[in-house]
A and B are shown apart, each in its own frame.
Chain A
Amino acid sequence: MILLLFIIPILTALSIWVTQNRKIINILNITGAFLLLAVSLYLTGEVMKNGVLTTGYLYNIFYFDSFSAVILFVTSVIGFLVALYSTGYINEEFRRNIVNINKTRVYFSLLHAFILTMLLTITTQNMGLMWISIEATTLASAFLVGFYNHKKSIEAAWKYIIICSVGIAFALLGIILLYYSSVQSMGKTVEGINWQFLYENAASLKGSILKISFMFILVGFGTKVGLAPMHTWLPDAHSQAPSPISALLSGVLLNTAMYGIARVMAIVNKSLNSNLFTGRLLLILGIISIGTAAVFILVQHDFKRTLAYSSIEHMGIIALGFGLLTPLSIFGALYHIINHAFTKSMLFIASGNVYLKYETKRINKVHGLIWSMPVTGIVFLMGIFAITGMPPFSVFSSELSIITASFGEGHYVIAALLLLFLVLIFAGFITRLLGMFYGKPQEKEVRQGELNYTGPAVLITLLAIITVTGLYLPVPLRTLLSAAGEIISGGVK
């Protein structure tokens, strides 16, 4: 059953190359994404009933527990919504002759290949294969980031591929050291690189080698997550990519890299039997990321770049949650992964609509959004409040959990800095972006009315999701998050 998760995207990606008919490509795209969603929801249900799923192939290479289920749920839902929105987006660009049929095929097949690599990351427990998949996500999305092939896109794609590949190469060094400690302590076994094996035998792994390995992995995967000071590729890549791809990059890809860090953190914490080492590193990187994001958001001129810096901020908050490692903060961090994914995708999709209508990414060239596109405008406005942590949206609940946990642990300085940066980010968003919504469009002819049907439908769905989960967290989801939290904390504290 887990194999279906991989077969469906491969088939979709390959079958898109068979046809030249745009309608068929759209149908294939949406069917593939929908089937993937169905399989993922089924697997998530299975995990909630049975605990852990493994298949016996290749020495238990596929492994699926509650933590994987959380990330899988987010990935497949947002993947489906993005695939749905992409049809409208690419159709519009095709109509304007920005892309031709070949580029359309490249786009959709790479979209599914990209989703495939992300799914591979979260369903494997072989740390080497996890590394390979994370590198593969960089490679699969490199051409998507550089899709439009003008100067800024090429620069963004080059920075993306170089910085992420180098960072991930350091993570490979960390994984080699992790395997080295396993070989040294327990001899060369075929299971030696599997997460479950390492986790169960964590007490016998040598501490200092694990510490060095964790540092390399934190820097390496942290580059992919977007933690400062390794974040420099993120604003460029997320702002130059086509908007559906930005939604995927921001909402889903950053989570899978964070998944890698959390898995290794669980092993290291269990081995050292305290989280002082990993916690301190994660706290420092987290708070620096939030601070960097706050400073840069205050001076932005490009709304997609602002959203990208906001991703850096939220990944910093998640790192903070994992660093504190109390049950409340881990729950908050996992919940935040879900909330940020939905909210940020909604914002990027809305910004895609704005870009299609106004053909610019600069804030001062966009006016009268609520007049010209009521649904997009209102969703974007609500989204700005949501992403900066306003109730009743879901981001408020998760941020509140993390702040409470931070105060509860006695980390007053960290909590105070966090609050200060959140206020700065809120101020930055409002002062910079609020001018886009009211009034009337000042430039040329901007016609009134939404561009297509899929855009507003996806937007309203996402807005509903983040409002509802902000007010009431469904019980199955809550148990899933608690179970995942127990896996991560590993019984420490």
Chain B
Amino acid sequence: MDRLMDVLNLLSILILISAFILVANKRMNSYIKTFRLQSIFLAVIAAIFSLYHIFEEGRLEGVIVIFFLIVSLKVVYIPNKLKTITKKVDYKVEKDFFVNIPISVIICCGLVIMTWYVISRVTDINDAYNSRFLIYSISVILIGLFFMISRKKAIGQIIGFLVIENGMFMAAMLTTSGMPMIVELGIFFDLLTAVLIMGVFVFRINESFESIDINKLRNLKG
């Protein structure tokens, strides 16, 4: 049990590091590759849970369904779809970020520190492992949010949203060892639909505005 917790601890830190790598990227293809890496780590977490349940308790938990869903959707399907979108869309936006990279990384460090402080003030999380898992998950969510607001290309916003969802799944799996199956399935399909709809809108933005620079969407004010 302790070894399980140690392995999960290592994987969750790797996910956090991959979030930092995402912020430090500059090109759209690297965004997608880093997201794929993060999803692979998440899938490994799900796999470890299901293997643990198979070996220790001798039964097949629902987590194995989640493992297959993560692998098929987040590692294979969604990154491929995003790649096809980026190929079809004209990305001549010069400087993609509002804040330059070194300062972004420092801001992300600040976010992790802030999360650590906030969770340490929540007095009722007794388990040391749980509190750390919660800190890493919420940090990944906040870094995903920061990524979303600091990039000008519409694809960056979709990737940021997907990273936020990765953080959610991390939180759900690590702290509560999985929410009820119907909820997890529903969340997956909701997110898939959200990404597909956002993809459609990226096409429409590209057609109407001749670029996917979010800064150009300024008609509605006041």
Contacts and interface: CB of A to CB of B under 8 A. Distances in A.
A208 B123 CA distance: 7
Q: Do most interface residues of chain B lie in helix, strand or loop, or is the interface mixed?
A: helix
B125 A209 contact: yes
Interface stretch (B41-49, B79-87, B196-204): B196-204
Contact of A126 (B138, B141, B183): B183
Contact of B168 (A149, A169, A236, A299): A169
A209 B124 contact: yes
Interface string A288-308: 000000001001110001000
B176 A176 contact: yes
A172 interface: yes
Interface stretch (A151-159, A432-440, A443-451): A151-159
B211 to A, nearest CB: 13
A259 to B, nearest CB: 18
Interface stretch (B52-60, B101-109, B187-195): B187-195
Contacts of B218: 155
Interface stretch (A81-89, A136-144, A410-418, A479-487): A136-144
Contacts of A212: 118, 122
B219 A139 contact: no
Interface stretch (B9-17, B70-78, B157-165): B157-165
A176 B161 contact: no
A180 B176 contact: yes
Contacts of B123: 208
A188 B177 contact: yes
Given A172-B187, A176-B172, A208-B122, A152 B219 contact: yes
Given A159-B217, A165-B194, A208 B124 contact: yes
Interface bin, chain A: 35 or more
A166 to B, nearest CB: 6
B175 A151 contact: no
Interface bin, chain B: 35 or more
Q: Do most interface residues of chain A lie in helix, strand or loop, or is the interface mixed?
A: helix
Contacts of B183: 126, 128-129, 131-132, 193
Given A146-B204, A169-B161, A193 B220 contact: no
B176 A183 contact: yes
A151 B208 contact: yes
Nearest to B190: A135
5 contacts: A131-B187, A139-B190, A169-B141, A208-B123, A305-B222
9 closest Cβ pairs, A-B complex: A128-B183, A206-B124, A132-B186, A155-B217, A236-B220, A208-B122, A135-B190, A208-B124, A169-B164
